Amino acid sequence: MRKVPELSLRQYKSGDHAARAAFSRALSEGLRDYGFVVLIDHEVSRDLLDAAYALAAAIFAQPDAVKRRYAGGLRGYTPPGVEHAKDNPIPDLKEFWQIGHETNAADSAFWAPNVWPEHPAAFRATFQALFAVLNETGCLLLEALAPTLDLEPGHFEPLVRHGDSVLRVLHYPPIDSRADPNAVRSAAHEDINLLTILVAATGAGLELLDRDNTWLPIVTDSNALIVDSGDMMARLTNNVIPATTHRVVNAAAHASRYSMPFFMHPTPDTSLAALPSCIGAGAKHPPITAGAFLNERLEAIGLKG
């Protein structure tokens, strides 16, 4: 059975030129072949992950009426029954809390102040810290990827450092017997953004659609990060780095599952036109800005009217 490749971020951060170049090649090859890689030796501490998961359980255990006080926008709480996969009208079986940059250097229609709950008290500080370290990790990964696309290592930095990235704190509740029998925790989809950095979830269920059209479970250590490439990366690279379809199936349906994907977005005026190194025989997608593309997709999945 094929297995998503595992890479050590320490090799890139602390290695010599040859080690860093090898990491860049392995990252590019993993994303081109699978659409996913597993990242170990990163800088998200076990203590921070444990604290974040404890707070995720606490926030979603609050009464529905309390949670809904923080709903209604792209930041804060989104209740079950709202988001669905593109071209799939059946809502996913999940609720989530979204967090963005506290301040945004870009004049973005998608930026809004973060919405912080009154309780638990440590929620804000903990998730600000997690957002910061995942944003830094994403910047490093794009720096490593840039030379494989014939770009300077610093090419992505000004586009993503204060882009429209969001950290989503996800809860997949135990599945009620009254739920739509066709509903799943997260229906098959591709991510919208450049890269997603997923803190390994508290339960099984994540699968990618492999190149032979079979579903491949992604199984890794609970302290690892799972990285995948999204639709913006596919457009930018003319599908050289594809956006891979994935889903979360209803494994261990009697238990809650928590997950924390960080969706790395550039600034809204970033062009997604195919890079010269990837254009080949011609562009496969019409040019569009990241902001216009994001707006289209948010409407398609039910998060924006």
What's the one-letter identity of residue 82? Answer: V
Instruction: Quote the pLDDT of residue 83.
Output: 82
Instruction: Quote the pLDDT of residue 253.
Output: 66
- Per-residue pLDDT band for 189 (boundaries 50, 70, 90) equals confident
In this predicted structure, the answer to whether residue 252 has a pLDDT above a threshold of 60 is no
- 123-145 helix and 17-33 helix, angle to the nearest 10 degrees: 100
As beta bridge partners, residue 257 has 172
CA distance 139 to 137: 5
* Model confidence, pTM: 0.94
Instruction: Quote the pLDDT of residue 257.
Output: 85
CA distance 272 to 280: 16
222's tokens: 């609970």
In this predicted structure, the answer to whether residue 239 has a pLDDT above a threshold of 60 is yes
Among the residue ranges 72-76, 120-124, 266-270, the one predicted with the least confidence is: 72-76
In this predicted structure, the answer to whether residue 179 has a pLDDT above a threshold of 70 is no
Q: Is residue 305 part of a domain?
A: no
- Per-residue pLDDT band for 264 (boundaries 50, 70, 90) equals very high
Beta carbons of 38 and 6 less than 8 angstroms apart: yes
8's tokens: 């050590």
Instruction: Quote the pLDDT of residue 305.
Output: 64
Q: What does each C-alpha distance from 302 to 46, 79, 87, 153, 190 come to in angstroms?
A: 34, 12, 11, 36, 15
Half-sphere exposure of 267 (CA within 13 A, CB side): 12
Quote the number of domains for the chain. 1
Q: Is residue 86 part of a domain?
A: yes
Q: Which domain holds residue 110?
A: 6-300
In this predicted structure, the answer to whether residue 67 has a pLDDT above a threshold of 70 is yes
Rounded to the nearest integer, the mean pLDDT of the chain is 90
Q: Is residue 289 part of a domain?
A: yes
- Per-residue pLDDT band for 182 (boundaries 50, 70, 90) equals low
Q: Is residue 14 part of a domain?
A: yes
- Per-residue pLDDT band for 251 (boundaries 50, 70, 90) equals low
Instruction: Quote the pLDDT of residue 186.
Output: 78
Closest to 135 (Cα-Cα) out of 157, 154, 153, 112: 157
- Per-residue pLDDT band for 86 (boundaries 50, 70, 90) equals confident
CA distance 297 to 193: 10
| Digit-coded pLDDT (tens) for 95-127 | 999 999 987 655 566 678 899 999 999 999 999
Beta carbons of 36 and 208 less than 8 angstroms apart: yes
Instruction: Quote the pLDDT of residue 65.
Output: 97
| Digit-coded pLDDT (tens) for 12-61 | 999 999 999 999 999 999 999 999 999 999 999 999 999 999 999 999 99
The torsion defined by the Cα of 291, 297, 303 and 305, in degrees rounded to 10, comes to 80
Instruction: Quote the pLDDT of residue 87.
Output: 79
Q: What does each C-alpha distance from 13 to 23, 147, 164, 248 come to in angstroms?
A: 10, 15, 25, 31
CA distance 159 to 290: 10
In this predicted structure, the answer to whether residue 219 has a pLDDT above a threshold of 60 is yes
| Digit-coded pLDDT (tens) for 140-166 | 999 999 999 999 999 999 999 999 999
Q: Is residue 1 part of a domain?
A: no
CA distance 297 to 86: 8
Taking 3-state DSSP, the helix, strand and coil percentages for the chain, each rounded to the nearest 5, stand at 30, 20, 50
As beta bridge partners, residue 278 has none
Q: Where is pLDDT greater, at 14 or 251?
A: 14
CATH number (domain holding residue 213): 2.60.120.330
- Most confident by average pLDDT, 129-133, 187-191, 247-251, 295-299: 129-133
